[in-house]
Amino acid sequence: MHTQYNVLVVDDDEDDQFLIRQAFEDDSKLFSLQFATDGTDVLEKIIAPKMLPDLILLDLNMPKMSGFDVLAHLKGSEDYRHIPVIIFSTSSNPTDVEKAYQLGANSYVVKPATHQKLSLMAEKIRQYWFLLSELPVRRTN
């Protein structure tokens, strides 16, 4: 079991980043959050760290490189495909949901509209992915 989990949040919206950070603050000793603002930024962050993320929250609508492109890259790579990726998007379009799962997303969550709902969602993500599920063994880069 890890003493601290690495979570990479990929979202270009600063308000969403702030709310996600607040939602994870309740267990701040258990989680190390890192943020990327676009698809190219996430690829740089994932190549550079000594430890890869244990979980990635990935927005779909971003500048430079879409979340779909990032997801395809991650799941197409031997080095990164083991990392669970939760699509975290405002879109509830069935076409987007289907495409995300076809590209290898582990889960698809529609962003809640309020801080309270976001906090509840973050708590459920923490409970499921870090208490109930068994994550792959953390790899070093």
pLDDT average, residue stretch 16-37 = 81
In the prediction, which pLDDT does 141 show?
A: 56
Written as six digits, the tokens of 50 are: 């000594």
**Closest listed residue to residue 52, CA positions, set 104, 88, 5, 17:** 5
Question: Residue 61's domain is classified under what CATH number?
Answer: 3.40.50.2300
Number of domains in the chain: 1
Q: Which residue has the higher pLDDT, 49 or 137?
A: 137
Written as six digits, the tokens of 101 are: 């799962």
Written as six digits, the tokens of 42 are: 């996430």
Grade residue 46 by pLDDT with cuts at 50, 70 and 90. confident
| 74 pLDDT above the threshold of 90 | yes
Q: Is residue 138 part of a domain?
A: no
Q: Is residue 37 part of a domain?
A: yes
In the prediction, which pLDDT does 18 show?
A: 84
Kindly report, residue by residue over 96-130, the tens digit of the pLDDT. 999 999 999 999 999 888 888 888 888 888 889 88
pLDDT average, residue stretch 67-92 = 93
DSSP string, 111-141: PPSSHHHHHHHHHHHHHIIIIISPPPPPPB-
Give the range of the structural domain holding residue 69, as residue numbers without chain letter.
Answer: 5-132
In the prediction, which pLDDT does 22 show?
A: 81
Written as six digits, the tokens of 73 are: 């890259």
CA atoms within 13 A on the CB side of 4: 10
